[in-house]
Amino acid sequence: MNTLTKETKLTLLYIFIAYTFSVLMRMIWVYQFHGYAPFIYHGQFMINTNDGYYWAEGARDLLSGTHTNGLAENFYDKFHQFNDMSPVNSAASQLTALFAKILPFSFESVIFYMPVFLSSLVVVPIILIAKDLKNLNMGLIAALLASIAWSYYNRTMAGYYDTDMLNIVLPMFLLWSIIWAISTKKDIFLLIVALDILVYRWWYPQSYSLEFSFFGLILAYTLIFDRKNIYYYKLMAIMMFAMMNLSGFVRLPIVLAVFYAFKQEKLDKYIYYILGVAVIGFFVSGGFSPIWAKLQPYIFEGAVSVGKKGFKLHFFTVMQTVREAGHISFETFANRISGHVVTFVVSVVGYIYLVYKHKIMIFALPMVGLGFLASVGGLRFTIYAVPILAFGIAFLITEISSKMPTNKLKYLSLIMFTLAILYPNYKHIDGYKVPTVFNNDEVKVLDALKHKATREDYVISWWDYGYPIRYYADVKTLADGGKHSGSVNFPISFMLTHTQEEAAQMARLDVEYTEKTFKFEKEHKQEVEDKNLTIFSNIEQMTTDYGFKDTNDFLQTLKTDIKLPKKTRDIYFYLPFKMLNILPTINLFSNINLMNGAKSRNPFIFISRRFKDLGKVIQLGSNVSLNKQDMSVNIGKNRVRLRRFVRTRYDKQMKNIVNTQMIDFTAKLSLIYMSSYNTFLLVDEKTYNSMYIQLMVLENYDHNLFEKVITNPYAKVYKLKI
């Protein structure tokens, strides 16, 4: 009977310690908000990332059963409505559905805690890599740091239910299998590397670039250090087959067949031909084409032109407003990777020294490079560099400790240095008290809407809320976290920031044209693919159908009673109070001349929550104040008369009471005091008359166009009547 070696026992112990530490650190948020009602719904914590509701929707649909009555084109499409964008084919949804099915916990608990337990698995490949380098202490220190470093923790904390919970774990396992393959030259690692690629691609289809980078380094390593070793060519060949842009169900049997062939020594003389076939298969299958395409949107930004009929319409690009795609400072960059600037600098030096001592660690360079892409491409990439640079500082710590004169000083230095690099990250975790996406009252509105709307109805809101709306209300949306291009956002922005009549007519048009587009793409699938007609603007099609050559002229007709498409479904507007904070940003998407891209003058919107009543004057902030005596406002050095002063409040029955005082009909600005929200809102006339302000803030809706369905102070739902 085989017994575990001392090294194996120590490896398992270190994995257990690091994994437990990672999990416990992620439970700090749970402890901090234990029993906090706004973050809890139906007795369970809600998640704190918008995108998580996307995967949750897919898992929910997989668990709920068949909905399409056998009309689906593939197996998974049976579990959701046509065109509802439910990700039933995604790995995250499928794995979640499996866990929810076999584990004795509620679905909400599963999605909330999955990031905690899956992301902590990153410690396993880290310690296994260190085992190969004969430095388990380095592995433990690196695992402890990597598991809680700022950016990795932020994107894998409790409730951060997203693909990031395995997006570093899987490439780290791939790195481990590559390192062990090259170190041991064992055939089994040929298969393990290929299977790692298959699993990684299944989980995260955008893994092409990192896989290809690993392949490129292996090729360079082979040509420089050991070009006659046939094992490396086998490794590259099986990687190429695993990386082809084909279904995993096709690549898996190919990989198994190739591995079987490599076990036959008589076939070794054909290895170069097999590698050639693998490379050809990779490129012919389109394996390289997605690599650059996936990175471009995060590097280049600007207004985009969309149009299939030659209009060349100009839309505001969403990437200009996405924080994770923006440029970050060096301090933020360093903190997110290592927790502190000093730790980061030392980690870089340590990694360089580690590569010098163990050249095999150069294979980790693609992850470092992708992490450093954050300096120009946005903070989301920093997580890739976290575990590799953790190796760097951990290696220096073990090297310094090994020079100590006694074992006592050696272990004391290991502990002290480790605590020193962990402490800034712990402090970040302790202070990182992010809220859930929605609070309890906001979800109550959507849950009630679920029982009023059908699954074919549309709920219109800004794209930030698209995924949660679909999850809780089980309806369709026009925009969400994955569908929010400028051409998609323009009509929604137009609805929210224009008059009720314009908003109502645009809503009916955009929904019906969206469904018409789905139908067209389904009926002309081959033509769409061959002629690349997938880029489609509803606004352009509307302009053409209504006989205009200038989209601006068409938009002007929405102020009149135009003939609308036949109603095929109901439409609802979900208007949360928190949308007020991003109303200026929402306005950007429709405050543009679509024909030439020129931006119009931004409407005036000023929000004040930290104001001071000084007696005769209320200081609103940002050099803006209200003069109580004559009801004028000072903006900088300019005194401006108010058109009207509006005060809103909720009574005991939670009815919104609105009192309006007209002051100067010729003035351009109005001041709204939302007393129940402790908020002042200073706006121009266009914003005051916008659909969002009228329906959400004032509940002053046109009864011919809208019907009030559900309201509470946090969110309101209106049904479109036309």
- Distance CA(344)–CA(433), nearest Å, equals 24
Same-domain check for residues 423 and 448? no
Q: Are residues 391 and 527 in the same domain?
A: no
Is residue 72 over pLDDT 80?
no
Q: Is residue 39 part of a domain?
A: no
Residue 390, CA distances (Å) to 11, 346, 385, 414, 501 in order: 18, 10, 8, 14, 58
The answer on pLDDT for 292 being more than 80 is no
- In terms of domains, do 257 and 123 share one? yes
pLDDT of residue 307: 46
Specify if 87 maps to a domain: no
CA–chain centroid gap for 378, Å, is 12
Question: Per 3-state DSSP, what percentage of the chain is helix, strand, and coil (rounded to 5)?
Answer: 60, 10, 30
What is the pLDDT at residue 71? 45
Instruction: Supply the pLDDT for residue 1.
Output: 47
Find out whether 78 and 67 touch, Cβ atoms under 8 Å: yes
The region that residue 40 occupies, defined by phi over 0 for left and psi between -120 and 50 for alpha, beta otherwise, is: beta
Question: Which residue among 430, 461, 481 closes a domain?
Answer: 430
Q: Would you say residue 524 has pLDDT above 80?
A: no
Determine, yes or no, domain membership for 668: yes
Of 430, 450, 468, the position where a domain reaches its end is 430
Q: What's the rounded mean pLDDT across residues 590-602?
A: 90
Question: What is the length of the chain?
Answer: 722
In a domain, 420, yes or no: yes
Answer whether residue 686 is part of any domain.
Answer: yes
User: How do residues 81-103 score in pLDDT, each as one tens digit?
Assistant: 667 789 999 999 999 999 999 99
Looking at the structure, tell me whether residues 486 and 426 fall in a common domain.
no
Same domain flag for 423 and 454: no
Give yes or no: residues 533 and 632 share one domain: no
Phi, psi torsion values for 412, nearest 5 degrees? -65, -40
**Is residue 250 located within the same domain as residue 396?**
yes
Instruction: Report yes or no: 517 and 501 within 8 Å, Cβ to Cβ.
Output: no
Owning domain of residue 707? 601-720
Q: Residue 621: which residues within 8 A CB-CB, separation 6 or more?
A: 608, 610, 611
Task: Identify the pLDDT of residue 533.
Answer: 53
Please tell me whether residues 452 and 544 are part of one structural domain: yes
- pLDDT bin (cut points 50, 70, 90) of residue 704 is very high
pLDDT attached to residue 304: 47
| CA dist., res. 602 & res. 424, Å (int) | 42
CA 583-602-596 angle, 5° bins? 110
Could you say which of 430, 459, 491 is where a domain stops?
430
Predicted local confidence at residue 530, as pLDDT: 57
Residue-wise pLDDT for 430-456, tens only, equals: 999 999 999 999 999 999 999 999 999
Question: Could you give the number of structural domains in the chain?
Answer: 3
- Is 93 inside any structural domain? no
Q: pLDDT band for position 573 (50/70/90)?
A: very high
Q: What is the CATH number of the domain that holds 544?
A: 3.40.1380.40
Are 610 and 692 members of one domain? yes
In a domain, 37, yes or no: no
Same domain, 399 and 488: no
**What is the Cα–Cα distance from 106 to 44, expressed in whole angstroms?**
8
**DSSP-derived pairing of the beta strands 617-621 and 624-627:** antiparallel
pLDDT 10s digits, 639-679: 999 999 999 999 998 999 999 999 999 999 999 999 999 99
Average pLDDT, the chain: 91
Identify whether residues 145 and 288 lie together within a single domain.
yes
pLDDT of residue 69: 45
* pLDDT tens-digit map of 18-43: 999 999 999 999 999 999 999 999 99
Q: Is residue 423 part of a domain?
A: yes
Task: List residues bridging with 719 in a β-sheet.
Answer: 572, 707
Q: Could you tell me which residues come within 8 angstroms of residue 543 by beta carbon, excluding any fewer than 6 positions away? A: 311, 549, 550, 551, 554
Q: Is the pTM of this model over 0.85?
A: yes
Q: How confident is the model at residue 719, as a pLDDT?
A: 98
Residue percentage of the chain with pLDDT more than 70: 90
Residues 202 and 316 in one domain: yes
377 vs 370: CA distance, rounded Å: 10
Lowest mean pLDDT among 207-211, 441-445, 554-558: 207-211
The per-residue pLDDT for 313 is: 87
